[in-house]
Amino acid sequence: MNASESDIAERILRVDQYQVTMAQLYHRMGLHEIPARFEYFFRTCPDYGGHRAGYCISAGLEWLVKWMTDSRFREEDLAALRNQRMQSGEPLFSEDFLNWLRDNGDWSGVTLRAVPEGRVVHPNVSLVVVEGPLIMAQILETALLNHLNYQTLIATKAARVRESARGRTILEFGLRRAQERAASAGARAALIGGADFTSNVGISRLLGQPPKGTHAHSMVQAFMALGEGELAAFRAYAEVYPDDCLLLVDTINTLESGVPNAIRVFEELRAEGHEPVGIRLDSGDLAYLSIRAAAMLDKAGFDQATIVLSNQLDEMVIWQIVTQIEQEASRYGVDPDSLINRLVYGVGTGLITSAGCGALDGVYKLVALRRDGAWQPAIKVSETREKTLNPGEKRVWRLYDERGKAAADLLCLADEDPRDMKEIVLRHPTEATKRRTFDRSRLSECEELLVEVIRDGRPVGEFPTLDEIRRRRDADRERLDPGVRRLINPHVYHVSLSQRLWDLKQSLIEEALGGAERTS
Amino acid sequence: MNASESDIAERILRVDQYQVTMAQLYHRMGLHEIPARFEYFFRTCPDYGGHRAGYCISAGLEWLVKWMTDSRFREEDLAALRNQRMQSGEPLFSEDFLNWLRDNGDWSGVTLRAVPEGRVVHPNVSLVVVEGPLIMAQILETALLNHLNYQTLIATKAARVRESARGRTILEFGLRRAQERAASAGARAALIGGADFTSNVGISRLLGQPPKGTHAHSMVQAFMALGEGELAAFRAYAEVYPDDCLLLVDTINTLESGVPNAIRVFEELRAEGHEPVGIRLDSGDLAYLSIRAAAMLDKAGFDQATIVLSNQLDEMVIWQIVTQIEQEASRYGVDPDSLINRLVYGVGTGLITSAGCGALDGVYKLVALRRDGAWQPAIKVSETREKTLNPGEKRVWRLYDERGKAAADLLCLADEDPRDMKEIVLRHPTEATKRRTFDRSRLSECEELLVEVIRDGRPVGEFPTLDEIRRRRDADRERLDPGVRRLINPHVYHVSLSQRLWDLKQSLIEEALGGAERTS
């Protein structure tokens, strides 16, 4: 899409129509400036079909904040709204309303508290709390979900790939299969969640990272079509990149042609004083081929050469490859650990599309309105009990046990502080019979998770660097119980309500349903 | 992300690193201006797990062409490349090469022929043929795949939703679960493939379509939190939008509260001379609730009121809902056909993420290089036989049988024209024993599928409008055998090679493998 044309769809009109029709209604009814509180949370960890995540990694916040900084109702946005018609042919939006948007349609009244990027996060925990005039807090919904759902989804998948790769380097290779422009956000989220580098040049530049990549099959094909062969192609590559020589060896036949040709070129390089980097395998049985290739490289004296694996990888495939190498490598005279420690994983489609689960089910819900100087909790009762939201003005805490491991996340009312409690009662969000009690003195720490990110429309403090975000991620993962980190059948991490929040929720449900009975 | 910052990742550096390292190699070796031919095709129709597509809908071309018009190597792009370092610490890219990119790094030498948007397309058929200097045709790969794979994937899913919806209106509701900025491309692709409208305001503006949407649960919640109720919320909505009144009825309890309150407001509206539009159901058993709601609306005299269904819909869920209504509606005194004909489907996550299959496996392969005035076919032999590509300079034809139905797509060499053949031999792309023969006189039409879109870097002709694209889609679907359009276990549409193309492919495979044997 043409960049200047597309601008209209990238800014404040990246919004669902109903946000704007509701906004006009609030304005017409004089409700638009009532302080409102909305919360962002997801309901379940991604389920990839046959396996599911035990935790998520928060991502997308910085880009949401930058989008907000960039977006307000401009004349061209108002023109788009002015253009819309009702069934009757009359303009859908009144000039009054459009004037209000022109003069006030920005985020200056909005405050946002959030769980920082890179943190381990769990279902039903308020990850972002937005406070502001009802009209703008409502309009924010779509863009907020659009930014946070996708990046958190991809960061979470990347964290799983990282779990399976046993500390080896992970390269994000998904740009060609990525969702068009989301490639940038997706690569960023992958770098937050678990990838070390990406092949995406533009996003690498934007984030100050070196992009990774060497050559494709087409280079070898080109030399073949010109009457030369794979060996000539490899030699040309070694000539241009003598100290960065990583060769793709499966254009013709990996073991019969690719690896022998690579070894020949590596020997020539070494004779000239350069150390080759390694090879890449992109098709066939990657476990078997990597064992056989390692044996050939070892024999030729290149036992340090990296072996990059790519082609349809994800956390399960990597796990399977590593397992198979452990079981079979020694039969070919290859030490399994040495081989595993020279592997690098190029992960494309499976990571950037979060294969098996293409969306995080994050939602943004009204939880309170301010009336007569006090917050009035708002509820939505659902046909599905799990979808009934947790109402009111809340704070979110993470409780750590004696070992320093995260034991539970606790949603409290705003005036509750678990550090002041002797006994902390944890209620299951929906099951009345499920409850636990912690003795405060046996907890090593109670940590509040939400930090202020935007105050009155202005960003608070600096954004953390990618390295800081990654350190936060690693620290949080270290503090998870290993059972929660499992790729298959992870332990369910506890997310609980305080007793007072539980009581409030029950009374509001009763009131809403009672009201319904009176109405009908 | 901040729009000005992000620009670097949106233009020509939306590229994989290895395209640029290969480009430098071609430049260093003096190969960069050799005319090259690359082809784009996908290998399989999306497999959603348990069901798969029988055909795809081509989409994304216009935005690719606009991206090309917008993208060339600018100083800031070159600065990003200049910044990169080799292992040795030396600059990765030479000034020579960067200067060449600055002076020549655009698409002026590139010609592109493609299957137009909205057409029914099949695996292994060349959908785009790119001709141009090796260096720029290679650099184009990533962006081309990034544009076409995603939009074709989403248009295909939308076509399936359309197959299941029996001509009823489909609304694209996916912005909140979309992949960040890909929401625009995704909504466009959905509109091409099968959706009638989208809730996305920005993209609707860009495409000249009216966006759709009314109100969310939060509006009802807000009235409740302010001490009023669902009825007051509905009345407010009716007051502001008397001729566009569509009410979401499941915030509290659909049948006990929502529908009765909606009917009350509809009666008030009608008394004032306005006709209500209808209701939306967003949770619970949508088949059952729509039957019960229809019965209540009918009884109250609103038998024309639309019932919009949303919540986790996709082609399978819609099919199930329609089937259940057919089987059960009459038990509640509701005519199934009338009910089905008042339904509208709001499809969110399932459509914009192509649930079950998050990527089209489209690839871009070098098929020929021009040397000594003639095209030299290029081949890639794969460990997986299905991945061995179809080489050489080709044309693509669709053959229609006596009924006017599409019988097969045929890949020929460039100098072959099936219209001149008496007998047309169709070879399976990989299976030597599978072949068919058509008598030319029994075919009603041989249609060439590729049309010129870019000549020497400049777009050829006007882009078709969305309506034209949709008409093309509908015409193509009409000419498909119903078996190919089935949602489950569709017939496999025939894609074949001409005898001469088959022979060329076999000889090149033999040559490549023979060469490999000699080398090793």
Question: Taking 50 as the threshold, does the pLDDT of residue B520 lie above it?
Answer: no
Is B202–A8 a contact, with Cβ atoms under 8 angstroms apart? yes
State pLDDT tens for residues B28-71.
999 999 999 999 999 999 999 989 999 999 999 999 999 999 99
State pLDDT tens for residues B148-190.
999 999 999 999 999 999 999 999 999 999 999 999 999 999 9
Report which residue type is found at A443: L
Average pLDDT of the segment spanning A85-96: 96
Of B17, B181, B516, the CB nearest to A253: B516
Q: Which band of pLDDT confidence, cut at 50, 70 and 90, is reported for residue B508?
A: confident
Average pLDDT of the segment spanning B121-126: 97
Q: Return the minimum-mean-pLDDT range out of A253-257, A377-381, B404-408.
A: A377-381
Average pLDDT of the segment spanning A430-437: 91
Report which residue type is found at B395: R
Of A257, A277, A369, the CB nearest to B225: A369
Phi, psi of B392 (to 5 degrees): 85, -175
Question: Taking 90 as the threshold, does the pLDDT of residue B4 lie above it?
Answer: no
Of B28, B261, B380, the CB nearest to A221: B380
% of chain B at pLDDT higher than 70: 97
With 0-12 / 13-18 / 19 or more C-beta atoms within 10 angstroms meaning exposed / middle / buried, residue B96 is exposed
A13 shares contact with chain B (CB less than 8 Å) = yes
Calculate how close chain A gets to B403, using CA atoms only, in Å.
38
pLDDT at B331: 97
Of B151, B175, B217, the CB nearest to A142: B175
State pLDDT tens for residues A17-40.
999 999 999 999 999 999 999 999
Is B349–A369 a contact, with Cβ atoms under 8 angstroms apart? no
Calculate how close chain A gets to B24, using CA atoms only, in Å.
8
**Nearest residue on chain B to A240, judged by CA atoms?**
B25
Calculate how close chain B gets to A83, using CA atoms only, in Å.
9
**Nearest residue on chain B to A76, judged by CA atoms?**
B205
Between A286-299 and A315-328, two packed helices, what is the crossing angle to 10 degrees?
A: 50
Contacts of B149 in chain A (CB under 8 A): 176-177
Contacts of A92 in chain B (CB under 8 A): 244
- The position carrying tokens 């969702």 is A179
Question: Taking 80 as the threshold, does the pLDDT of residue B5 lie above it?
Answer: no
Q: Which band of pLDDT confidence, cut at 50, 70 and 90, is reported for residue B350?
A: very high
pLDDT at A516: 52
Contacts of B31 in chain A (CB under 8 A): 222, 226
Closest to A174 measured CA to CA, from A339, A36, A311: A311
Closest to A227 measured CA to CA, from B137, B508, B37, B381: B508
A207 shares contact with chain B (CB less than 8 Å) = no
- The position carrying tokens 């996003």 is A203
Chain A (440-499) residues lying within 8 Å, Cβ to Cβ, of chain B: none
Contacts of B358 in chain A (CB under 8 A): 349, 353-355, 358
Q: Cα-Cα-Cα-Cα dihedral of A69, A72, A75, A78, to 10°?
A: 150
**What average pLDDT does the structure give for chain B?**
94
Question: Taking 60 as the threshold, does the pLDDT of residue B454 lie above it?
Answer: yes
Question: Taking 70 as the threshold, does the pLDDT of residue A517 lie above it?
Answer: no
State pLDDT tens for residues A194-241.
999 999 999 999 999 999 999 999 999 999 989 899 999 999 999 999
- The position carrying tokens 């969110």 is B348
If you ran DSSP here, which 8-state letter would residue A293 be given? H
Question: Taking 50 as the threshold, does the pLDDT of residue A404 lie above it?
Answer: yes
Largest CA distance in chain B: 90
List, in sequence order, every residue forming a beta bridge with A398; answer none if it has no partner: A409, A447
A353 shares contact with chain B (CB less than 8 Å) = yes
**Nearest residue on chain B to A276, judged by CA atoms?**
B87
Is B1–A185 a contact, with Cβ atoms under 8 angstroms apart? yes
Average pLDDT of the segment spanning A47-73: 96
State pLDDT tens for residues B188-235.
999 999 999 999 999 999 999 999 999 999 999 999 989 899 999 999
pLDDT at B138: 97
Closest to B493 measured CA to CA, from B480, B506, B504, B503: B480
The answer to whether the CB of B345 falls within 8 A of the CB of B338 is no
Q: Return the minimum-mean-pLDDT range out of A503-507, B74-78, B189-193, B307-311.
A: A503-507
Is B142–A175 a contact, with Cβ atoms under 8 angstroms apart? yes
State pLDDT tens for residues B317-334.
999 999 999 999 999 999
Of B182, B283, B515, the CB nearest to A382: B283
Contacts of B183 in chain A (CB under 8 A): 9, 14, 146
For residue B206, CA distances in Å to A5, A27, A93 come to 7, 26, 19
Q: Which band of pLDDT confidence, cut at 50, 70 and 90, is reported for residue A389?
A: confident
Of A206, A379, A380, the CB nearest to B6: A206
Report which residue type is found at A212: K
Of A87, A151, A369, the CB nearest to B222: A369
Average pLDDT of the segment spanning A277-285: 96
Q: Which helix (H) or strand (E) holds B338?
A: helix B336-340
- The position carrying tokens 């129709």 is B45
Phi, psi of B14 (to 5 degrees): -75, 70
Q: Which of B157, B221, B256 to mutate to test the interface with A (most CBs of A within 10 A)?
A: B221
**Nearest residue on chain A to B148, judged by CA atoms?**
A180
ipTM comes to: 0.96
Chain B (19-38) residues lying within 8 Å, Cβ to Cβ, of chain A: 19-22, 24-26, 28-29, 31, 34, 36, 38
pTM: 0.97
Chain B (379-398) residues lying within 8 Å, Cβ to Cβ, of chain A: 379-384, 387
Of B199, B369, B378, the CB nearest to A17: B199
Burial A73-109 (b: 16+ CB within 10 A, else e): bbeebbebbeebeeeeeeebbeeebbebbeebbbbeb
Calculate how close chain B gets to A346, using CA atoms only, in Å.
12
Question: Taking 80 as the threshold, does the pLDDT of residue A145 lie above it?
Answer: yes
A115 shares contact with chain B (CB less than 8 Å) = no
Chain B (247-276) residues lying within 8 Å, Cβ to Cβ, of chain A: 250-254, 256-257, 260-261
Q: Which of A221, A230, A381, A389 to mutate to test the interface with B (most CBs of B within 10 A)?
A: A221
Euclidean distance between CA atoms B437 and B440, whole angstroms: 9
Euclidean distance between CA atoms A48 and A503, whole angstroms: 35
Tokens at residue A74, please? 């401009």
Euclidean distance between CA atoms A132 and A368, whole angstroms: 11
Question: Taking 90 as the threshold, does the pLDDT of residue A384 lie above it?
Answer: no
Q: Is B470 helix (H, G, I), strand (E, B) or coil?
A: helix
List, in sequence order, every residue forming a beta bridge with B56; answer none if it has no partner: B121
Contacts of B200 in chain A (CB under 8 A): 9, 14-17
Contacts of A219 in chain B (CB under 8 A): 22, 25-26
**What average pLDDT does the structure give for chain A?**
94
DSSP for A112-167? Answer: EEEPPTT-EE-TTS--EEEEEEHHHHHHHHHHHHHHHHHHHHHHHHHHHHHHHTTT
Count the neighbouring beta carbons within 10 Å of the beta carbon of residue A178.
32
Calculate how close chain B gets to A234, using CA atoms only, in Å.
11
* Helices marked H in A412-488: 466-478, 482-485
Give the number of C-alpha atoms closer than 13 A to the C-alpha of residue B186, restricted to the C-beta side.
34
Average pLDDT of the segment spanning B278-297: 97
Is B29–A260 a contact, with Cβ atoms under 8 angstroms apart? no
Q: Which band of pLDDT confidence, cut at 50, 70 and 90, is reported for residue B273?
A: very high
**Nearest residue on chain A to B36, judged by CA atoms?**
A222
CB pairs under 8 A between A and B: 459
Count the neighbouring beta carbons within 10 Å of the beta carbon of residue A462.
7
Three-state SS string across B20-86, please? Answer: HHHHHHHHHCCCCCCEEEEEEEECCCCECCCCECCCEECCCHHHHHHHHHHCCCCHHHHHHHHCCEC
Chain A (34-63) residues lying within 8 Å, Cβ to Cβ, of chain B: 34, 36, 38, 49, 60, 63
Contacts of A191 in chain B (CB under 8 A): none
Question: Taking 50 as the threshold, does the pLDDT of residue A161 lie above it?
Answer: yes
Is A18–B203 a contact, with Cβ atoms under 8 angstroms apart? no
B176 shares contact with chain A (CB less than 8 Å) = yes
Greater confidence, A394 or A36? A36
Closest to A57 measured CA to CA, from A125, A145, A155: A155
Average pLDDT of the segment spanning A373-396: 79
pLDDT at A518: 47
A152 shares contact with chain B (CB less than 8 Å) = no
State pLDDT tens for residues A368-379.
999 888 888 887
Contacts of A221 in chain B (CB under 8 A): 365-366, 378-380
Greater confidence, A518 or B182? B182
pLDDT at A4: 63
Is B16–A200 a contact, with Cβ atoms under 8 angstroms apart? yes
Contacts of B82 in chain A (CB under 8 A): none
A18 shares contact with chain B (CB less than 8 Å) = yes
If you ran DSSP here, which 8-state letter would residue B444 be given? S
Question: Taking 70 as the threshold, does the pLDDT of residue A382 lie above it?
Answer: no
pLDDT at B518: 47
Contacts of B81 in chain A (CB under 8 A): 201
Phi, psi of B439 (to 5 degrees): -80, 120
Helix, strand and coil percent figures for chain A, each rounded to 5: 45, 20, 35
Calculate how close chain B gets to A407, using CA atoms only, in Å.
30
